[in-house]
Structure 1
Amino acid sequence: MGYPQVGIHPQAGLHRWLTTTLSTNVESMFEELVAQAVGSRDAVGAVGAWARAENAACARRLAACADVLERHVSADGSAERENWSADNWNAAAAEIAAAQGVSLGVASHQLVIAWGLRKRLPKVAEVFAAGAVSYRMVEAIESRTRLVRDAEANAKIDAEIAARVEQWAGLSVAKIENAIDFWVDRYDPFAVRHAQTKARGRHVDVHVSDDGSGTAYVDALLMATDAEAFDRRLDAMAAAVCEDDPRTIEQRRADAMGALGHGADRLACACGRDDCEAAQLTVSSTVIHVVAREESLSDDTDVDLDGEDPPGPSREELLKMTVREALSPRAEDMPSAPADTDPAYLLGRGILPAPLLAAKLAGAAQIKYVRHPGDAPPEPRHRPSTALAWFVRCRDLTCRFPGCDVPADHCDIDHTIAYPAGPTQASNLKCLCRKHHLIKTFWAWREVQHPDGRVDWTSPTGHTVSTCPGAELLFPALCRPTAPVDPAIVRRAAEAPTDSEARGLMMPRRKRTRAQDRAAAIDEERELNAPINAARLAERDEPPPF
């Protein structure tokens, strides 16, 4: 199918891609972009050509995402499913996530952009498909125009931005947002998004470092008053230890933040003296789960985690050394040989090196042993025993749906073959977060679980992807095969029809559909912005001088 010519005001300045490229066939256009990239004779030209091909490929991927949602919302009974807790949007996002190996949240965000291009910004989508703009630019346009409600105003904004967006490629993020807001302001002044709405995006995110150090970054957006109170609280806790505490002030502030997370009201001093009044820490009511081999708890590798100066020669010693001596490691600075221990795993957060685990956590840990069930027969009840449930959680570590990283201790224990037809045994149990549990149950996903914990997933459209237990790499002993499910039970389950309509009667219901939630959010933000937008509009209409 060819792209239609875009009707834009003559003064807008039609670009070359509007008069030539958009009238060609979609696939031919993409093939031409790839051919240009492959045929480029210099590296810089190849970078630009491949960037355009990448943009065009991303546009096609998002268009395919919109197609998936279109299929769901146009199917029979889709209106009723909009009130499901796991609605049409969730079902589409789950298929998209599985196809790309990303999380449900990432897929849902991509679907927001894709649906916005499909329904509100078709001309911008054409520019994107031609490879002329990046995903970052398209994401900004979709977000900054989201409050526009009038269809005619939306069409004009779409056309105006599409005619100029290629020229914005070299602008900063702030300048791009200003350029988008200019056209929103011209056709729907009350849809301009303002900085004060940033407070509505308050959040706290925790990102575990991927370097295996066992540390994490905390990214937060707080109200200024709360942030000031938090800052002062950390200072007060850091200052309450005795003068022999070996940590720097920044290390104590970081540890104080951890103490708050554990429910403590003070920071325990690390001086090591028995008579230190600040050495006691209040009992924590917070529980975190760490999976580790028993040997890792007693790892005796030397670690130096506190203090200002790292191990090595002092500044005075360095001044007396030659360059070769300064760069050569000294025997006294070399760490002792690491013990033959494996890292631990903090559920939902990643690995913890064994020396860090032993030095910081082992002394305060409550140890529970996990036993491999071996060839144990099925248990007689629907709910697995505590021992079996913890084996499954430690084997899986996270939700087992493709692309999902919800920690196992926040997941349901799901029967792959539904109970009572399916037995309660390790080879028929896995971890699923509540959202993916609903999607699996009510949206006709099929799965086959193997005795080693591997699960083969088949989507409603017949696409297959496999997921392996999280312990496969870190704790392979937990992935030894367990007693298999009776083949006759497996065969009957494979032949059974999917009873999705009957299950729909039990699906948790939404109070409002997703579309109603979006409309209400737009109305709320427009109302919050109304006083500022009205003042700006009145000022703009005044005669000069302004």
Structure 2
Amino acid sequence: MFDRVALAGMGDEELISALTAATRGEAAMAARRLALVAEVTARQCEDEDDVIAHQVVDGWAFAKAQVGAACNLSPHAASTQMRIGVALRERLPRTAALFGSGAVSARVIGEITWRTHLVTDEDALALIDAAIAAEATEYGALSEAALIRAVDLWVEKFDPIAVIRSQAAAKDLYVEFDDRDDPNGVCSFWGRLRATDKQALQQRLNDLADTVCANDPRTVRERRADALGALGIVGPSLQRLACRCGDPGCAGSGKDPRSTAVNIYMLADQAPGSDARPAPDTGPEPTGEPGPEGPEPEPEPDAAERPAAQTPTPAESDPTPAVDPAAHVPFSSRPVGTVPGAGVGVMLDGGIIPAAMLADLIATGAKVRPLREVADLPTERQYRPSTALTAFVRMCS
């Protein structure tokens, strides 16, 4: 069969003709084999009574064992072949005839039988079979996704139950956040959108992902995720994604709107301004980021127990009413080690922001706001607490 000398002696046209004939012959033989599989299945299942049907080894199981042994297949693979064979024999006769002529591949037949297996209306099934048989010879060159769409088109058109299923699915739209196994600093989200909404969102994210320069170190997937977050902060007016190439001359360099929407609260005498190294406005380096010198189990209002070095403290959104809370991501932080910059952030909902991510937020534009100790605040006699006292209470609680 693989005689290279004989094959090398064939002309180009003869070679292609032989390949075409072999392909059709392979499909025709596959159809013949599936017809035999369907006959084996029918002999074991058609005369099955209620007693046999409820036994551990029923007719289907017995036929599966026979087919698996004859075709050298696993039980699951044998069952799949039986399902395809029975569908061609009993449900899709026109498609089966086309398959028997070798005009359609086994791959296409497998997808057709699977995408139509929920159709129960006989009249609808006959219409679907006729429509698919009329164009199935064109399905071979389609991708898997395109093949599924081509078959589903006829199912949606003729099967009334399929229409009902589609209407029910269109109402089952949702977006969920957070998985218990998410690492600190990130969260999973998933959901279901209308196909038209998905197309618009996908195109928008792709367009934004392409606005950075060629030196941006992120992958396309990472840039798409960043673009989604930026859209949530800026909204539809967002025109470009902040570039992370590190080049000050890049048109896309500058503060990241996702970071500028974040407020990081820390004790007043531990803010970056008290250190000789100021926190940079841009860039990946966390130079000037506050860092603890010793661990502190819980943030205490007692100033005597505060570490001398800079230590991030609990944080929240700016209590000033002018701040839009929808675009305001609050943070708090506490010391976790003796290395400068080792503080981590703690969000008001308890989420942990790792030190590296906290440093990146500061470097790309997050606002660092001082938080005064309650002992340093003046006595207040008014009914409403001051902004400073409100911030302290929110951070500590």
User: Which of structures 1 and 2 has the bigger CA Rg?
Assistant: 2
TM-score higher than 0.5: no
TM-score in terms of structure 2 length: 0.39
Q: Which has the higher contact order (CA 8 A, sep 6+)?
A: 1
TM-score in terms of structure 1 length: 0.29
